[in-house]
Amino acid sequence: MGWILLTNDDGIDSPALRPFARALRDLGEVRVVVPDRERSWVGKAITRYQDIEVTQIDDDGFSAWTTSGYPADSAQIGIHGLFDEPPELVVSGINLGYNHGAAFLMSSGTVGAATEGWISGIPAIAVSTGTMTDWHEWRGMAMDIGSQPKWHSLSTVTTELVGELWKGGLTDRCDVVTINIPFEATTSTERRYTSVARVGYERLFERVSDDVFRHSYSGGMRTIDPLDGSDIEAAHDGAISITPLRMPEAVL
């Protein structure tokens, strides 16, 4: 019988992980392989020169494997290293924060882990959630234990969508599907098939001493092309964006 690999880039302590793993069981057996800590903004990095430690945990009925590596390491080990057979589907998420727009999609550990599924010939879906209000305020709320009912609700809505896209065959017609879903989404929230917005960013690091810089992204974007029909436009309108990706795709 086939199974689903669930991974993420927010690590084992993500408030989304347990609710989403439970909800995904409606689609089949779920096996969880995730980083042992947050690994955001690392794209599809792979560990080459260090050993990766894997630990199996069982916490109040929740079973998972954690790795000391990156999200793509976790996906690779989950696909090829831990089990006798590969999964039928790789799901990465639910990420805390939207991964929309080209600059952010390519930086995303969530999307990077899903891409590892495509590389291995397995249907793959990356899921991210967020808000268009103040990021730091929203993240504090989303991390609070009091937000667990919202995560359960979002996980149910997201699982329904993942099942429709997977069983409807979209994952077979592209390489990776990336979903950006509002944190307050319900089953009646508008869904849009979108393009990836062509946006960039400027400075990512601030100097904190003479020889030390620290990641300090402020949320600003550099718009390269109009946002019409894009994943970012959908987020601004409170809609769910569904973006089928084909990687890589040349323009010549």
Query: For the chain, how many residues are written?
Result: 252
The answer to whether 110 and 67 have CB atoms below 8 angstroms apart is no
How far, in Å, CA of 157 to CA of 213, rounded?
Answer: 40
According to the model, what pLDDT value does residue 92 have?
Answer: 99
| Closest of 110, 121, 100 to residue 17, by C-alpha | 110
pLDDT in tens, 2-60: 999 999 999 999 999 999 999 999 999 999 999 999 999 999 999 999 999 999 999 88
According to the model, what pLDDT value does residue 202 have?
Answer: 85
Q: What are the structural domain ranges in the chain?
A: 3-196+228-245
Neighbours of 86 (CB within 10 A): 16
3-196+228-245 CATH fold: Stationary-phase Survival Protein Sure Homolog; Chain: A, (3.40.1210)
**Residues 202-213, mean pLDDT to the nearest whole number:** 91
pLDDT in tens, 127-170: 999 998 888 899 999 999 999 999 999 999 999 999 999 999 99
How far, in Å, CA of 6 to CA of 120, rounded?
Answer: 15
Its pTM stands at 0.95
pLDDT in tens, 80-121: 999 999 999 999 999 999 999 999 999 999 999 999 999 999
**Torsion-angle region of 136 (φ positive above 0: left; ψ -120 to 50: alpha; else: beta):** alpha
| Confidence category of residue 61, pLDDT binned at 50, 70, 90 | confident
Q: Is the pLDDT of residue 217 over 80?
A: no
Residue 52 structure tokens: 């990766």
**Residues 212-234, mean pLDDT to the nearest whole number:** 87
According to the model, what pLDDT value does residue 222 have?
Answer: 79
According to the model, what pLDDT value does residue 224 have?
Answer: 84
Asked if the peptide bond before residue 94 counts as cis, ω within 30 degrees of 0, the response is: yes
22, exposed or middle or buried, with CB in 10 Å at 0-12, 13-18, 19+?
middle
